[in-house]
Amino acid sequence: MVTRVSTSGSYSAVLANLLAAQQRQTDAGSKVATQKNGSNLKDYARDADMLTAMRTLKSRMDVYVDQNSFIAEKLANQDTALNRVADAARDTKQIIAEALASGQADTLIEDLEAQLRNAIEGMNARYGGKYLFAGGQVDTKPVTATDMASLAPPAVIANLFLNDDYKATAQVDEATTVTTGILAEDIGTDLLNAYRALQVFHTGGSGPFTGQLTAAQKTFLEGQLTVWEGVRSDAVSLTARNGLTQQRVESVKEALISRQNALAGMMGDITDADMAEAASNLQQAQLSVQAAAHVFASLAETSLLNILK
């Protein structure tokens, strides 16, 4: 029995091999170029469900990480503002102590005014154009007091605060919610009342604070040292509480980033190509293309048509 070998049949077989080799070369080249095993979920059919779940989880963690970066920055700005208030309380106490030590009150009120302005600016601090300590009314300046005189009767201290009662909270991961909001009235009620007491005494029968301190003025200011130590201590406690919240947010953020990295590694085990293997496959595919092309060219040269010419 003789097997017939036709030119067209040989061409078809060699052409099919050439096309297959070219496809393998294209696939191998794509792996090397992208360093991925595929370009869509269809290419990962066996692991598609797992990969989809991983990507969903990663997207959720990305949102938390971005949000926590914003929250941490906001808390850092709050820390700066709260420290400004605490420093004003500390310096006010120091100013009073120095006046008692020297027995002179020539610049006492002016120095107190400067610290009051520092404290008010701290309570009216903004971040991203929004007032930090205004509660939900972030576009309204929370403290309307401007100087010592604005604290004196008939002014009511509570009416000098325009914040509402809303304290912002944030969910920093799937299971953790923190309170990030602090209200201006919580920071400054006792502080403004303490400044008010100084102003009332200054404008009252035992004032003003000018020149040498009188016995009555010394007694009053000595009592104010205890008052201002309490105000300073409360301001420091608020600052510390804000700092603890900031640390917690940063800790959660670091844990999320660690989880992100672990998840990226797991996804990479599925999607990332073995580059050594991919490079080897590309080289083999290129050789196959060259071999198939050579056979195709050789077949063309040995065609019966060429023999009959």
Phi, psi (rounded to 5 degrees) for 146: -125, -30
Is 4 contained in some domain? no
**Whether residue 248 sits in one domain with residue 294:** no
- 151 and 190 in a single domain? The answer is yes
The neighbour count for residue 47, using CB atoms within 10 Å, is: 16
**pLDDT interval class at 56 (50, 70, 90):** confident
pTM reported for the whole predicted model: 0.73
DSSP reduced 3-state for 292: helix
Q: Evaluate whether 153 touches 200 at the Cβ level (below 8 Å).
A: yes
R_g (Cα) of the chain, nearest Å? 39
Predicted confidence (pLDDT) per residue in 107-132, tens digit: 999 999 999 999 999 999 999 999 99
pLDDT tens-digit readout, 214-272: 999 999 999 999 999 999 999 999 999 999 999 999 999 998 888 888 877 766 656 55
Q: Is 37 helix (H, G, I), strand (E, B) or coil?
A: coil
State whether residue 108 is helix, strand or coil.
helix
Report the distance separating Cα 99 and Cα 206, nearest Å: 16
Tell me: do 75 and 172 sit in the same domain: yes
The whole-angstrom separation of Cα 135 and Cα 165 is 6
User: Considering the domain boundaries, does residue 291 fall inside one?
Assistant: yes
Q: CA–CA separation, 39 vs 197, rounded Å?
A: 72
Assess contact for 168 and 181: CB atoms under 8 A: yes
Q: Of all residues in the chain, what percent carry a pLDDT higher than 90? A: 60
Statement: residue 141 has pLDDT above 90: yes
Characterize 177-203 residue by residue with b for buried, 16 or more Cβ atoms within 10 angstroms of its Cβ, and e for exposed: ebebbbbbbbbbbbbbebbbebbebbb
Q: Is residue 261 part of a domain?
A: yes
Q: Which of 280, 268, 267, 288 is nearest to 29 (CA)?
A: 280
In the structure encoding, which two tokens stand for residue 200, read together?
């009332």
203 shares a domain with 104: yes
The pLDDT of residue 301 is 59
Residue 288, class by beta-carbon neighbours within 10 Å (0-12 exposed, 13-18 middle, 19+ buried)?
A: middle
SS3 209: coil
- Verify that 260 and 288 share a domain, yes or no: no
In angstroms, the CA 92 to CA 87 distance is 8
Q: Is 62 a domain residue? A: yes
Kindly report the CATH number assigned to the domain that includes residue 70.
Answer: 1.20.1330.10
- Number of domains observed in the structure of the chain: 2
**197 and 282: one domain?**
no
Same domain as 163, residue 294 = no
Tokens representing 117 are 């302005």
Say if 96 falls within a structural domain.
yes
Both 282 and 234 in one domain: the answer is: no
* Position 31 in a domain: no
Maximum average pLDDT range among 1-5, 68-72, 192-196, 275-279: 192-196
Q: Which domain does 88 fall in, by range?
A: 50-267
Instruction: Tell me, yes or no, whether 167 lies in a domain.
Output: yes
Q: Note the pLDDT of residue 125.
A: 98
Q: Could you tell me if 150 and 299 lie in one domain?
A: no
Q: What is the distance between the alpha carbons of residues 113 and 121, in angstroms, rounded to a whole number?
A: 12
Say whether both 255 and 296 belong to one domain. Answer: no
Residue 165 in 3-state DSSP?
Answer: coil
Residue 95 lies in a domain: yes
- Residues 140, 244: one domain? yes
Distance CA(209)–CA(211), nearest Å, equals 7
Q: How far apart are CA 225 and CA 97, in angstroms?
A: 7
Same-domain status, 183 and 284: no
Which residues make Cβ contacts (< 8 Å) with residue 117, sequence separation at least 6?
A: 147
